Amino acid sequence: MTIQEFRDNVRPNMKLSVDGKDFLVEEIIKFRFDDGNFYIKCILSDGYVFADDLENNMFLLVKEVKTLFTYPFPQELELDGKKLVFLYEACAVAEEVKGKEIWKKGYSETFWDYKSEDGSYLSLGVDNKTKERLDFCGKIIDCDLVKLYDNAI
């Protein structure tokens, strides 16, 4: 599934299949970057988060983790024996929210993203209002491993 197909078709309460594992889409948030581009983040069942990355033509499947990394973050990190390399820093604001409204319109976050050679992904984030850390760890998902179904799980 292409990222555009995903964006055009995803709705709350759909079944999302990612690399053979099924999730329920509980919330969909459109986050706008400072540069005007945007990404879609979905809150899924079982505590997972799924996001698209149009620029790199990939998806991310992550779950919240607690890390001890402190700002300023270095160019390289090690987590669970894996070397992760810095990709980018960004700030984004929730522009549209559909579904449960776990995250509200106007919420903003800043994050520093990293990836490893094996496709592992780490996002070190900060809630810009509360300054609370929101770190997520998971993996990069190829577009052909993503499917949407109208019927919920």
Q: What is the pLDDT of residues 116-152, one digit of tens each?
A: 999 999 999 999 999 999 999 999 999 999 999 987 6
In percent, how much of the chain has pLDDT > 70? 99
| Beta strand 146-149 pairing with 120-127 | unpaired
- Unique residue bearing structure tokens 């520093």: 112
Mean pLDDT on 29-47? 96
Find where tokens 């990612």 sit. 18
Cβ neighbours of 116 (radius 10 Å):
20
Cβ neighbors of 69 (< 8 A, separation 6 or more) are: 77, 124, 135
pLDDT value for 153: 54
Q: What is the pLDDT at residue 152?
A: 60
Number of domains in the chain: 1
Q: Which domain holds residue 50?
A: 3-149
